[in-house]
Amino acid sequence: MVQSTASFTSESLAALKQRYAEAGQGHVFKGFDELDDKTAGEFFGQLSGIEVERVTGFFKNATAAHGQEGGDKIEPLEAGSFASALDSAQADERAQWRAEGMRLIGANKVAVILLAGGQGSRLGSSEPKGCYDIGLPSQSSLFAIQAHRIRRLQQLSGNTATIPWLVMTSGPTSAATQATFAQADYFGLREEDVFFFNQGVLPCFDFDGHILLEQAGRVAVAPNGNGGVYEALRVSGALDWLRERGVEHVHSYCVDNCLVRVADPEFVGYAALRGAECGALVVPKKAWDEPVGVICLRNSRYGVVEYSEISSEMAQLTRDGSGELAYNAGNICNHYYTLDFLQHRVPELEAKFEHHVAKKKIKHVDVESGDLVIPTKPNGIKLERFVFDVFPHVERMAVLEVARNDQFSPLKNAPGSGVDCPETARRDLLAQCVRFAEAAGATIQGAESEPAFEISPLVSYGGEGLESLRGKTLVGDQFITDIESVQTV
């Protein structure tokens, strides 16, 4: 919610004060006259850049709607409404999807959006989460793994393809992310094929809807959620950049999934052949009570229902005759779009997107006393949009179920927590490498004891290119960077 900044004059300051007063936010100017010139100028610039009428409206609408979802009609996806890569009967179709995806990649029609605004705070790191090393033999960061998968796909296309990579950062991660890419020489990609853009922010509010100040002369702000990607793509010029390059299809994913198949040709091909304008990958839930959002139907439209929104009875419902959970399409924030949809349809829809209420502990300055308030319990509200807020407005949706152990291992929690943490991510990626080699006909020494067996994404994207390993017994603890120099027993 940013607009161009007016010049700092007594007239423009008076006009700005009036706007904020009319929006019920005049309190932010208390103590303004006591600020030094530099701070006052910066504060004026920040306040001028906030569309105060709109963000105040966002707060009112979001808080009015908060907790009212109970009237929605929620239904599971119909059994035949989506395809499953887990169904062996669809092997031929999967080959067709992959072939179509590779054709589009080879024609330079596919780009990738990486949602990378998060820091590694929960992991004990102040760096961007994409810089995190999950403990692989290669010591590769998440950024490096994903970049190397892009490079491998470009190679598989005959080195004729370029897959543009759009990286969404946030205020705290932007400079560090760009520095990391530069220091790594863009992980072997061309600098001109990487486009950085920033996630937007929104002011933080108290429970009564008043904008909070983090310090005298500074509004407290927070990222506007991963759903802010749509506006950020547009205002940054990223969509125009893709259009100029001839891109037509876009794959989007979150940085914290070490198993993500970047620019996934099977998923892209599947969605493209179905004529979809938007698509989503899903994985089966581990159990009925797994705390994960589920793609389903809300009021007969596609949507995501958070685990807290459905009862235990609903969560345990099964499909007739199969025993499979009815609400089983676990959302993994892995999406497909056409560029036409992002550039032409989404701008018309954004006004319909909801803002969601997140009650948080927000450190701020009391404008009356000037005291710093450090809360011990939630005292304010951050507003955010989710990337899946677009789903109810999609006319042609493509949902594809995939194997969790092949495509989803999130990094959410601190080391040692045992769930969605560095150790589980490492385990899942190395186990996948073992499966790739075994599927090619190799035997891995000590496979049952989870060896540190890693195959570089530059050698194999999804298990291809390993045919020469057939019949060989491979040393368990090794990092394969060249198929010709594999260590055998």
3-state SS, residue 267: helix
3-state SS, residue 137: coil
Those residues whose C-beta lies under 8 Å from the C-beta of residue 390, and which sit 6 or more positions away, are 227, 230, 278, 346, 349, 353
**Mean pLDDT, residues 247-266:** 98
pLDDT value at residue 468: 97
Q: Where are the alpha helices (DSSP H) in 81-228?
A: 91-106, 142-156, 174-183
Q: 187 is written with which tokens?
A: 């992980």
Q: 375 is written with which tokens?
A: 């809360």
* Residue appearing with tokens 């590694």: 120
DSSP annotation of 404 reads H
Angle at 343 between CA 340 and CA 348, to 5 degrees: 110
Can you say how many angstroms the Cα of residue 347 is from the centroid of all Cα atoms in its chain? 19
Residues 309 and 479: their CA atoms lie apart, in Å, by 44
DSSP annotation of 461 reads S
Nearest Cα to Cα of residue 412 among 114, 113, 112, 132: 132
pLDDT value at residue 2: 42
**Mean pLDDT, residues 405-423:** 95
Question: What is the amino acid identity at position 66?
Answer: H
Concatenate the DSSP letters of all residues of 296-318 into one string: EEETTEEEEE-GGGS-HHHHT-B
pLDDT value at residue 331: 96
pLDDT value at residue 278: 98
Mean pLDDT of the chain: 94
pLDDT value at 86 more than 70: yes
**Mean pLDDT, residues 241-269:** 98
pLDDT value at residue 67: 64
Nearest Cα to Cα of residue 113 among 274, 342, 304: 342
Q: Backbone phi, then psi, for 411, in 5-degree steps?
A: -115, 95
Please report, in angstroms and rounded to a whole number, the separation of the first and last CA atoms in the chain.
Answer: 61
Residues β-bridged to residue 36: none
pLDDT value at 69 more than 70: no
CB count in 10 Å sphere of residue 295: 26
3-state SS, residue 192: helix
pLDDT value at residue 172: 85
Q: 199 is written with which tokens?
A: 């996630």
Q: What is the pLDDT of residues 281-338, one digit of tens each?
A: 999 999 999 989 999 999 999 999 988 788 899 999 998 767 889 999 999 999 999 9
Parallel, antiparallel or unpaired: strands 301-305 and 372-373: unpaired
pLDDT value at residue 68: 62
Q: What is the pLDDT of residues 102-147, one digit of tens each?
A: 999 999 999 999 999 888 888 888 899 999 999 999 999 999 999 9
Categorize the per-residue pLDDT at 81 as very low, low, confident or very high, splitting at 50, 70 and 90: confident
Length of the chain: 489
